[in-house]
Amino acid sequence: MSHFLDLTEIGQDQLLSWIERAHWFLKNPRPSSQFSGSVALLFFEASTRTRLSFAQAAFNLGLQTLDLGETASSSISKGESFEDTCRNVAAMGPRLCVIRCGDELDLAVLASELPCPVLNAGWGKKAHPTQSLLDLACLWSERKSIWFRRILFWGDVSHSRVVSSHQEIAKIFSIEIGQWGPPALLKKDEGIKTFQSASQALQWADVVIGLRSQRERHSGEVLSQFLPEHSLDIEKLKFFSSSGLILHPGPIHWGCEFQPEVAKDSRQRILQQVSHGVALRQSLMVHFLEAKRCQDI
């Protein structure tokens, strides 16, 4: 595999080896053996965590970043296409291209034309594989195993690329997926368990992953369907296992999918996810840099 676009065709052993190496990077963020060259960050949609954690990961490995920055200040504002932008930046010689884009761009076709490995940093509703992997790394690091069997997604499930990537991981590790949220924002997928009540959903789950409303992917009207029963709060959390964990990929809309008191719950690991995000992206970057080196020999 020369690009990292989704988690199909990846086995348990590969995933666990990325996670174990990420765990090592968490403890040793700046290894003595450093890389040279640059990584291009091409983000055509807004991002805080993914963009900056890739930048931090590159820095930790000794790599420079070639960051396109805001599209408004690039030649996209003069009518250059996203595809031409990527082709031109890739021609400058970065060792990896990290790309975030909407569904309108065919990342698979574009990647096949570029001279270096492409890492998917969030592709429309299709996939956000580094996010699902960093969630897995964060959960794994608690008990050094895939100890959780049931993940409950809470909020806007239907528009979430994070859920799509978790569904791929769930197949690999035989994890069950459930959902709770406004009915209009749930996935119509027979492989996902849907519940009659929030309490029933929480009693079922080992892990809860909150999801913000993806307002950029639907009309704001569905937000009126976000009722108090769809907001995780201290009362509902009484139904959730004392050994369970709560995650959220961010950004969080406090007062919508999660009430602010969730931040004080001892079971939440929201900022730990972010730290794992840097380490996991280091782990992936090393894998793809080494794979490319072998390919070039």
User: What are the residues binding ligand CP (CB under 6 A)?
Assistant: 47-50, 122, 131, 249-251
CA proximity to 182, closest of 205, 202, 159, 208 = 159
Q: Which residue has the tokens 């570029």?
A: 114
**Nearer of residues 195 and 254 to ligand CP, judged by Cβ:** 254
Give me the phi and psi of 214, to 5 degrees please: -85, 75
**Nearer of residues 175 and 209 to ligand CP, judged by Cβ:** 209
CA proximity to 281, closest of 96, 8, 139 = 96
| Closest distance to ligand CP from the beta carbon of 252 (Å) | 10
| Closest distance to ligand CP from the beta carbon of 78 (Å) | 26
| Closest distance to ligand CP from the beta carbon of 272 (Å) | 14
**Nearer of residues 4 and 35 to ligand CP, judged by Cβ:** 4
| Closest distance to ligand CP from the beta carbon of 45 (Å) | 8
The pair of three-digit structure tokens given for residue 52, joined into one six-digit string: 């900056």
CA proximity to 145, closest of 54, 206, 192, 203 = 206
**Nearer of residues 97 and 198 to ligand CP, judged by Cβ:** 97
| Closest distance to ligand CP from the beta carbon of 157 (Å) | 15
- The β-bridge relationship of strands 176-180 and 96-101 is unpaired
**Nearer of residues 137 and 198 to ligand CP, judged by Cβ:** 137
**Nearer of residues 178 and 249 to ligand CP, judged by Cβ:** 249
Answer whether 127's CB lies under 8 Å from 164's CB. Answer: yes
Given phi > 0 = left and psi -120 to 50 = alpha, else beta, which region is 255? left
What is d(CA 12, CA 118) in angstroms, rounded to the nearest whole number?
Answer: 22
Cα–Cα separations (whole angstroms), residue 31 to 26, 60, 253: 11, 8, 36
| Closest distance to ligand CP from the beta carbon of 270 (Å) | 11
H helix or E strand, kind and range, residue 245: strand 245-247
